[in-house]
Structure 1
Amino acid sequence: MTGTDRATLAQDLRTTLGRATRSLRETGGRMGLTPSQSEALGYVHRDGPLTITALARQVGVRSQSMGATVGVLLERGLVTVTPDPRDGRQKVVATTEEATRLVGESRSLREDWLVQRLATLTPAEQQTLADATALLDRLFTEGR
């Protein structure tokens, strides 16, 4: 494959992955949250309790901005905020049972939608997609 062919493949892959991401996001909804609130909640849910500073670094925003985002999540009852036992100046953000329920519900909606979409493919196409998924996983996890 030439450099030009790889560039075209990269563009096509980016476009397709973007479309897939948008479709999955729309299907599972944002749980009534803004994109930044949803992203922050997702990080805390996946990674466990994080300081506001660490969470801001993960998302790529300033700590002050993340503080405002966390404030909304706190008001909605989706996170708790407690002093960091190692550094009282820091605050630790953790998810609540309500957040776990909401994230699980959203995840189930997306997976159910995807199962329905996969059912429209032939068994051979499903196998091709399974093979491609392994390649995509390798592409996006190796060398990080």
Structure 2
Amino acid sequence: MTRPETLGLLEQEVGVLIRRVKRVIGLRARAVHPDLQPSSYLMLAFLAEKGPLRSSAMAETFDIDKGAISRQVQHLTELGLVDRTPDPDDGRASLVSASDEAVRRLNAVAADRRTWLDERLGDWTDDELTGFVDVLGRYNRALDQS
């Protein structure tokens, strides 16, 4: 097989992966809360990992305008998945963080997903799984450089 043919197959497989990831994000979002949108799920997961943050920092991270972030934060707040607190460095601003309930639900969804993955990849050796993670990480780092 030629390199261009192999690169074409790589593009096809990445396309399958992207479609699968989009579907999984939707499933995870609904598992956290039936009214949670996939895009808000990604923001909530980010907040659980990196928060508390200002909305402006999230707008920059996600490359989304502040109005869209504000609407998503409001929706997450209404669902009880996000808490707002005054920013100690600037009383006019607030910090947004995942609520304790959101973190609990996100952790439960992640644990379920890892169990599911382990069942599907049960015939992979630890070395194969580690090798795949290493190669996928290398692939992602190579694409981040452009």
CA RMSD, aligned part only? 2.4
Q: 2:87 aligns with which of 71, 78, 84?
A: 84
Residue equivalent to 2:78: 75
Q: 1:37 aligns with which of 37, 40, 47?
A: 40
Residue equivalent to 2:66: 63
Residue correspondence of structure 1 range 57-136 to structure 2 within 5 A: 57-119=60-122, 121=123, 123=125, 127-136=127-136
After superposition, what is the alpha-carbon deviation per residue over 1:28-75, rounded to whole angstroms, capped at 9, x for unaligned? 453221012111101101112110111122222111111111111112
Distance in 1 (alpha carbons) for counterparts of 2:16 and 2:47: 27
**Runs in 1 of length 4+ with deviation above 4 angstroms?**
none
Gapped regions of structure 1 (runs ≥ 5): none
Deviates more, 1:11-20 or 1:42-51: 11-20
Q: Aligned AA for 2:11?
A: Q
Determine what percentage of the aligned residue pairs are the same residue: 28
Q: 1:48 aligns with which of 48, 51, 56?
A: 51
Q: TM-score, normalised on structure 2?
A: 0.80
Higher relative contact order (CA 8 A, sep 6+): 1
Distance in 2 (alpha carbons) for counterparts of 1:23 and 1:69: 20
Tell me the secondary structure at the aligned position of residue 110 of structure 1.
helix
Q: Aligned AA for 1:54?
A: A
Q: Aligned AA for 1:52?
A: S
Q: TM-score, normalised on structure 1?
A: 0.81
Deviates more, 1:64-73 or 1:1-10: 1-10
Q: Aligned AA for 1:34?
A: Q
Q: Aligned AA for 2:134?
A: A
Aligned residues: 141
In the TM superposition, residue 118 of structure 1 has moved relative to its aligned partner by: 1.1
Residue equivalent to 2:138: 138
Deviates more, 1:86-95 or 1:3-12: 3-12
Distance in 2 (alpha carbons) for counterparts of 1:6 and 1:15: 14
Distance in 1 (alpha carbons) for counterparts of 2:41 and 2:96: 14
Deviates more, 1:58-67 or 1:25-34: 25-34
After superposition, what is the alpha-carbon deviation per residue over 1:96-132, rounded to whole angstroms, capped at 9, x for unaligned? 110110100110111111111112x364xx6434322
Kept in 2: contact 1:78–1:99 (CA 8 A): yes
